[in-house]
Structure 1
Amino acid sequence: MSFTNKVVVITGAATGMGAKTALTFAKLNATLCIIDINEKDLLKIKKECEELTTGQVFEVIADLTKEGDVKKIGKALKQLEKINVLVNSAGVAGPGSLQDADIIEKFDKIVSINLRATVVMTKQVLPALIESKGCIINISSIASTLMMRNLIAYSTSKAGVTTFTKCAAFELASRGVRVNCISPGPVRTNIWKHAGLTEDEQLVFWDQVAETVPLKKCVKVDEIADLVVYLASDKATSITGADFVIDSGMMLGTAEAGCGVRSVPKIVD
């Protein structure tokens, strides 16, 4: 499999699943445009990608929730010769319930990054994808369908991503653009660190997950990246509007009493 002469745009590319996806595409000689608000880590990933790919690597330091930064992204994308793949990987998590005094503030922040930014980037890249008959892969979550306590904003945002994926796939099929999403279960990344959990809270959470899911392990970021690459490749030209669950059997475990972590740590302000 090769992505030589293909251009891949990835948001949330500085860390976690986005970073691993960028590195995996780089190994397949893709030209990359990587986007993230985290300048230090994004430049590190850019350097690593440049050492792997025969294509070019462009970086855009941007906050997807700010209009000025979105315009900066638009200008950068216009400099690309073409765009074949968009991977919407930017996302944040955060505990929150309806009973929290600041739930609206939490909700707006999480939805603006997880859902609204996905729509914004799709709109930005769409003309180029229609021209190239390209594809979009969105990163959703099993939290879109698995109800977990203290996670209302995150779950709602990811449900929106999954539904948006299907709506976009239906609308864009006639233009030759495929749209799919991946719904990971437990993937050991820094997402809960960025949400404000302590190191101890993170360790407890991930250890609980690994112990209770049917396969007794968390999903590896490499597995997510490999699935993204497959969906973007010529091996998946008949797949659109699909939601691929990769969760070590966590969704299966919800049918078994006492199996599966159904809540997340609550931050005490």
Structure 2
Amino acid sequence: MSFQDKVVLVTGASSGIGAAIAIKFAEEGAKVAIVGRKKQKLEEVAKKCGNPLVLVSDVSKDADVKRIISETVRQFGKLDILINNAGIGGNVSILAENAMQTFDQVMATNLRSVVYLTNLAAPHIVKTKGNIINISSIAAYAIVGKETFSYCTSKAALDHFTRAVAQELAESGVRVNVINPGPVVTDFVMNMGATAEIQDAAWKHAATMTALKRVSVPEEIADLVLFTASDKARAITGSSFVSDNGSLLKFGTV
């Protein structure tokens, strides 16, 4: 799956799934723009991506979103593929005093930023007849834990947004799809304040909650993203791809 000279923008690329996606696109010849909030981590990823455009940015800030798109197009002259991967958690009870504050923070990153990035990127992607892939979660299908209403709502909305935009942009030859990972070993748990011991226990527990008794690594999701972005998936748009080691089977939702 060669992406020679394709321009790919990946948000949330400083670690985990986003980093794996950016690295694999670069290995296939793409010109990559990588976005993240943590400069040091982003620079480490950049070393594995050839000569990428590094954009230290917060996708929840409108000014940063504008800069992400404008600098990518200015640097490379076009945009072929947008990967909306940036996301945050944020467990909170609906009964909590800070419920709305947490909800707004989660929605700003997990949904609103995707809408705005798509709004600004779409005219460029229409020109290249490219495609957009959003990284969601099985949380769009099932409640994945206690006090996860903010996260689950954001991902369910992201899936439906994907379908709506896919329908609209199809007439312009642009495909839009969504990937729904289950548990994937990343620093997501750590970013929520967990210690190394808690992280290890969390992934071991997550494995027991899947039908295949395993959790994925980021490269598995990246492989699926590259397939979906390639011409091998040229007939696919408005679709959701679940890669969860059978987690939803255990939840009883499929």
The alignment's TM-score, normalised by the length of structure 2, stands at 0.95
Q: What amino acid sits opposite 1:121 in the alignment? A: L
Q: What amino acid sits opposite 1:12 in the alignment? A: G
1:131: which partner in 2?
Answer: 127
Bigger Cα displacement from structure 2, 145-154 vs 191-200: 191-200
Asked whether the 8 Å contact 1:26–1:32 carries over to 2, the reply is yes
2:5: which partner in 1?
Answer: 5
Give the Å deviation of 1:75.
Answer: 2.6
Map 1:51-62 onto structure 2 (within 5 A).
56-62=51-57
Q: What amino acid sits opposite 1:155 in the alignment? A: C
2:214: which partner in 1?
Answer: 217
Q: What amino acid sits opposite 1:124 in the alignment? A: L
Cα displacement string for residues 11-33 of structure 1 (whole angstroms, at most 9, x for unaligned residues): 00110100000011111011011
Give the Å deviation of 1:74.
Answer: 3.2
Asked whether the 8 Å contact 1:94–1:192 carries over to 2, the reply is no
Asked whether the 8 Å contact 1:110–1:154 carries over to 2, the reply is yes
Q: How far apart, CA to CA, are the structure 2 residues paired with 1:224 and 1:164?
A: 21
Give the Å deviation of 1:43.
Answer: 1.1
1:35 aligns with 2:32: no
Q: How far apart, CA to CA, are the structure 2 residues paired with 1:86 and 1:67?
A: 17
Give the Å deviation of 1:68.
Answer: 2.3
Give the Å deviation of 1:222.
Answer: 0.8
SS of aligned partner of 2:47: helix
Map 1:75-86 onto structure 2 (within 5 A).
75-79=70-74, 80-86=76-82
Cα displacement string for residues 192-241 of structure 1 (whole angstroms, at most 9, x for unaligned residues): 21122333332222111112311000012111000000011010000000
1:202: which partner in 2?
Answer: 199
Q: How far apart, CA to CA, are the structure 2 residues paired with 1:178 and 1:87?
A: 12
SS of aligned partner of 2:219: helix
1:104: which partner in 2?
Answer: 100
Q: Note the residue ranges of structure 1 that are not aligned, 5 or more in a row.
A: 51-55, 257-269
1:119 aligns with 2:125: no
Q: What amino acid sits opposite 1:237 in the alignment? A: R
Q: How far apart, CA to CA, are the structure 1 residues paired with 2:102 and 2:214?
A: 30
Total equivalences in the alignment: 251
Identity of aligned residues (%): 39
Bigger Cα displacement from structure 2, 135-144 vs 73-82: 73-82
Asked whether the 8 Å contact 1:169–1:180 carries over to 2, the reply is yes
Asked whether the 8 Å contact 2:185–2:217 carries over to 1, the reply is yes
Q: Note the residue ranges of structure 2 that are not aligned, 5 or more in a row.
A: none
What is the RMSD of the two structures over their aligned residues, measured on CA atoms?
A: 1.3
Q: How far apart, CA to CA, are the structure 2 residues paired with 1:17 and 1:93?
A: 15
Give the Å deviation of 1:76.
Answer: 0.2
